[in-house]
Structure 1
Amino acid sequence: MAIKEVEVKIDKGDDRGKVFVVSSMPAFKADKWARHLVKALTRAGTQMPDDALKAGIAGLAGVAQTIFGYLDDDDADKAFDTLLECVQIRTDPQNIVVKRAVIEEDFEDAETLSLVRAEAFKLNVGFLRAAAFQISPLVAALSPREEQAPTA
C-alpha cells in the first residue's frame, strides 16, 4: 500500500490558517495498530459491528466514535497516539516542503484535534477491517460455545 497523504487546512477557530498533513501508516504499522485495536475491543467485550464491516471502509469510519467509546482509557490513548503519529504540520505556508511532527502546542482548538484524528482514522481504517476479519474467527473458535438443547 502506498503512503497516502491528505492536507487539512483549518479555516475557522483558534487554529485558523494552520495546515496539517495526515499520512497513512506503513502497512506493517497499520496492521499492528489495527490488530491491537481489535484485540482491545474484544477485551472490552465488544466486537466490530457486522453491518459496518460489510459496508467496508465507509461503514467503519461511520462507527469510529462508537468503537473508541468501548475502549478503556489506556487502549484508547494508545490508539489515538498512534493516529497522531500520522500527522504533521506545515510550519511555513510559503514552503510546502517544510513540515514537522505535531506537538500538543500545535492544537489550540479541540475541534482541530478531532478533525485531524478523524482524517488519520479514515486513511488507516482499511487495516482495521482486515484485522477484524483475521481476529474475529480466531476469537469465535476459542470461545466456549453454549450447549444447545436437543430438538425434538
Structure 2
Amino acid sequence: NLNNQIESINKYIFSGDFEELLKEQVKKFNKLFSSISQELYGEKYALTFKRETNKQGQEYYKFTAFNANMSSGKKQGEILCFDLAYLLFAEEEQVPCLRFLLNDKKELMHDNQLAKVADFVQSQNIQLVISILKDKLPSSVFSKAHIAVELSQKSKLFKIETR
C-alpha cells in the first residue's frame, strides 16, 4: 500500500546511513562550489544542511547556501556559482543533464564578474543563456560573446507589433 511505501522511504532517508551518504555528496558538491566561487568571486561558498521537524512532526532536510546579508548583485553571482557547480557535479556523478544554464537578473552583477563568468563557461564548454540589456553587458564580454538572438524595439521575438 502507498502509505507503507512512503513510510519505508521516509525511514530510509532519515536513517544514519542515508545521512552519511548525503554528507559525502554535499562534500563533493562543495569542493566544486567553493572552487568556482573562489575563482569567480574570491570567496568560498558552501552548501549546508540540517535535519528539522515541521509543526506536523514530519522530518525534512533544510539546505542553505545563500547568505541573506549580501547585495543583490553578489547574490546573483552566488546563484550562478551554485548552478555551475551543480552542472559539474552532475557530470562527475554521471547524472544526465544538459550543459546549459538559463539565468536572469545578471545586470545586477559587476562587469568584472560577468567577464570572469564568460571566461569560465567558455573554458568548461557550458552554454549560459542570459537576458540582459546591451548597455549593461561589458564590452569585453560582448565582443567575445556568441549571440544567438538579439532583440530590439525594431526586431521583436514574435514579430508582434502594437497597433
TM-score of the two chains, using structure 1 as the length reference: 0.25
Which is helix-richer, 1 or 2?
1
**Which fold has the larger relative contact order, with Cα–Cα distance below 8 Å and residues 6 or more apart in sequence?**
1
